[in-house]
């Protein structure tokens, strides 16, 4: 990180960076575990059930091969995260692949458990008992499909849309200032991200020193990110841009240009 950019960060951000430098391996391990669980989604329950079932029945050679493969991928992922300080759910999917075998055994175990529970009910449940494994499988597939085809405007999609819009307007390579939760926006705009100072008094000086061209904020959290911004932004040569943020509602991302 450029020293000028580092000095412009809020005090808590500097402390977080120092903490991250001292504990890079611990942070990398926790991030890989988190992204693995997030990538596995609902399958993580089946994976753990399948591991428990295979351990109870006795691991076979094929099981050990998958476990060793998972361990190797996990170590590789930790080293990758330590070096790049980044690990996405897309990368976490690599760890899920060797675990799918155990998820299948977990699904079988779950179906058998539910089947024994349904034996206490009347014959009206005969069809459910007979095809329970397929019913659970279809249910899980439907859950994943609903997640995949949902067109809800999430924060990530909004940031991507605004970032690409800014790129089309010719701001690629420019410095974009904003709270750290909007860093993704600068990535899609091919811009350089600068965290907004924690108080209004520091804004004008930081904009001038770092050549900031665009300022982006969330109006619902800006008072915590930078106190006094909403009351004083017009005094620092900023003007409000009308972009794709208009659909974001009350807390839609606001974009400001610099005169």
Structural domain boundaries in the chain: 17-149, 155-258
| pTM score of the predicted model | 0.57
Q: Give tens-digit pLDDT for 161-205.
A: 888 888 888 888 888 998 888 888 888 888 888 888 888 888 878
Residues of the chain with pLDDT > 70, as a percent, come to 84
Q: Residue 142 above 80 pLDDT?
A: yes
Going edge to edge, which strands form the sheet with 238-241?
Answer: 192-195, 175-178, 212-217, 254-258, 238-241
The residue to which tokens 């100072």 are assigned: 197
**Given this model, what pLDDT does residue 108 score?**
82
* Structural fold of domain 155-258: D-Maltodextrin-Binding Protein; domain 2 (3.40.190)
pLDDT in tens, 93-123: 889 989 988 988 888 888 777 766 666 655 5
CB 145 within 8 A of CB 42: no
Q: What is the pLDDT of residue 106?
A: 84
Q: pLDDT (tens digit, 9 = 90+) per residue, 36-84?
A: 998 888 889 889 999 998 988 888 888 999 999 999 999 999 999 988 8
Alpha helices in 119-211 (DSSP H): 126-130, 132-149, 155-168, 183-188, 203-210
What pLDDT, on a 0 to 100 scale, did the predictor assign at position 196? 87
């Amino acid at each position: 990180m450029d020293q000028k950019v580092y000095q412009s960060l809020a005090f808590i951000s500097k402390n977080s960076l120092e903490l991250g430098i001292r504990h890079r391996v611990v942070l990398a391990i926790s991030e890989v575990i988190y992204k693995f669980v997030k990538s596995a989604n609902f399958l993580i329950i089946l994976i753990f059930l399948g591991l428990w079932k295979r351990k109870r029945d006795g691991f076979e050679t094929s099981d050990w091969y998958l476990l060793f493969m998972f361990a190797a991928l996990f170590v590789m992922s930790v080293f990758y995260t330590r070096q790049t300080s980044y690990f996405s759910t897309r990368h976490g999917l690599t760890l899920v692949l060797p675990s799918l075998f155990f998820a299948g055994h977990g699904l079988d175990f779950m179906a058998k458990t539910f089947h024994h529970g349904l034996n206490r009910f009347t014959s009206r449940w005969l069809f459910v008992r007979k095809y329970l494994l397929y019913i659970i499988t279809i249910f899980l597939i439907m859950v994943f499909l609903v997640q995949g085809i949902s067109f809800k405007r999430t924060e990530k999609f909004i940031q991507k849309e605004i970032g690409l819009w800014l790129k089309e307007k010719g701001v690629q390579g420019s410095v974009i200032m904003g709270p750290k939760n909007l860093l993704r926006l600068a990535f899609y705009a091919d811009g350089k991200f600068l965290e907004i100072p924690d108080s209004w008094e520091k804004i004008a000086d930081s904009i001038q020193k770092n050549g900031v061209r665009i300022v982006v904020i969330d109006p619902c959290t800006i008072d915590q990110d930078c106190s006094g911004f909403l009351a004083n932004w017009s005094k620092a040569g900023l003007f409000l841009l009308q972009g794709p943020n208009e659909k974001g509602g009350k807390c839609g991302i606001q974009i400001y240009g610099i005169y």
